[in-house]
Chains A and B, each alone.
Chain A
Amino acid sequence: MEKKNLFLRQFKSTWAITKKDMSIYYLKPPVLIYGFIFPGFIFLAFFLGKNMPFSSLLPVVIVLALFFTSSSVGPIITPWETRMRTLERLVSCPISLEFILLGDILAGFLFGVGITLILSVFAMPKIG
């Protein structure tokens, strides 16, 4: 019972960290570059350069977008927070490092899903 409570409490904190990451890091230049511009260019390169049909392109683009966007948020958070010394403040809160990292990863994942959804919505009519 006690163990379960502890887990739930920390999970709540994880969500607080994810929300914080979303409001801070989604707008940082490196995230924008890797998250939006990179997948965009790859999409254009395939679509225009190779003249591939849209339907076979979509899965590729989704995978690429997911990969680049998810991996663009997570890796910048930890070094950024270490350098800004904000991680030190978080670590002295009652939440273990694993849950802090989980929050960061979750933020990256949600970002990736978000971008992918946007791309898909744009792409859908074309497959039609």
Chain B
Amino acid sequence: MDSVIEAEGLTKKYPEVTAVNNIDFQVKKGEVFGFLGPNGAGKTTTQRILTGVITATSGKAFILGYDIRKEAFYAKSRIGVVPELANIYIDLSAWNNLMLIGQLYDVPKENRIKKSAELLRIFNLYERKDEKTKVFSKGMKQKLLLCMALIHSPQILFLDEPTAGLDVVSSRLIKEMIAKFNREGVTIFLTTHNIQEADELCNRIAVIDHGLIATIDSPENLKKEFQSVQTIEVAFNPPIKSEDDLKEIEYVNKVQKIGDKFKIYTNNPDELIRQLLNFSQKRNLKIFSLNTLGPDLEEVFVKITEEHKGWSYGKEKSFSKTV
């Protein structure tokens, strides 16, 4: 078997929105598959369908060949899940959290103990295993969730924003571990809105927004799209009235006024900053604040879909022209 995750026409409708809109994709054995999109894109909803937490309105999903709806037990036994929000039992110790989950995956007692100790050591939690997790920091909780997802040595690991809100050290450790487990043969489904993270870890990335998949491609190919939609936020003192002056500057692709700040899209942030300095000197303005924000995902999505206008998107293979 080549594909370990298969989604066919997955759709999830809520009364107010269609969270996931008829998406198709396949994840191959052994790859790190990124699921990248802005807030509200439908990433978590997709992961919840694939892990059998909610059922799709229509469409099908197969995990290692098992229908997630009809053969949920077999599919769920073989996957590990880190959901979006930390939800360990805060009234139980780290150790007892692991024991509970181990029992639910039917890991024999001996293995359960051995594996738990091993995982807790990897994530630097072993010394604190007997404390109630109420006192754990966000990062520690997240690491424990990862341990819980791995206790039964799953073949596929689903991760929903595993590094969101963590400091650099913790997120680096988690990323290193994701790469390590992948080298050991675990297929990874990584949901994120962090382009850098997706770029570092993934073999292929699906870009999703408004419940639709815009494209599925390698990070290298996607980077080209990301390049041209890097953003810088700048504010001047005294504030300048209109964005028209900024549009004259070289390397500015598009300007958006947000309060007294300006959000500038560019494909060369470095040059643009130099130009902005020039601009402020010439006009005798002080730069009040200057932030580089990286590529704007919403724009990436717009750009990709615009490039394929008249093409049907939402389906992996279907960048074929609709007649």
Contact = CB atoms under 8 A, between A and B. Distances in A.
Contacts of A55: none
Interface string B166-201: 000000000000000000000000000000000000
A95 B105 CA distance: 9
Given A24-B92, A94-B77, A89 B87 contact: yes
A13 B106 contact: yes
Interface residues of A, number: 22
Interface in B61-118: 72-74, 76-77, 79, 81, 83, 85-92, 96, 100-101, 103-106
Tell me if A's interface is mostly helix, strand, loop or mixed.
helix
Contacts of B104: 13, 16-17, 90, 93-95
Contacts of B92: 20, 23-24
Interface string A10-52: 1011001100100110000000000000000000000000000
B100 A20 contact: yes
Given A88-B53, A88-B83, A94-B76, A16 B103 contact: yes
Contacts of B83: 85, 88-89, 92
B51 interface: yes
A127 interface: no
A9 to B, nearest CB: 6
Interface residues of B, number: 28
Interface string A89-119: 1111111100000000000000000000000
Interface in A42-94: 84-86, 88-94
A18 to B, nearest CB: 11
Nearest to A90: B104
A9 B106 contact: yes
In the A-B complex, list the 4 residue pairs whose CB atoms are closest, starting with the nearest.
A85-B87, A16-B103, A94-B76, A93-B104
30 contacts: A6-B73, A9-B106, A12-B103, A13-B103, A17-B104, A23-B91, A23-B96, A24-B89, A85-B83, A85-B86, A85-B87, A86-B87, A88-B83, A88-B85, A88-B87, A89-B145, A89-B148, A90-B104, A92-B51, A92-B52, A92-B53, A92-B76, A92-B79, A93-B101, A93-B105, A94-B73, A94-B74, A94-B76, A94-B105, A94-B106
Interface of B: 51-53, 72-74, 76-77, 79, 81, 83, 85-92, 96, 100-101, 103-106, 145, 148
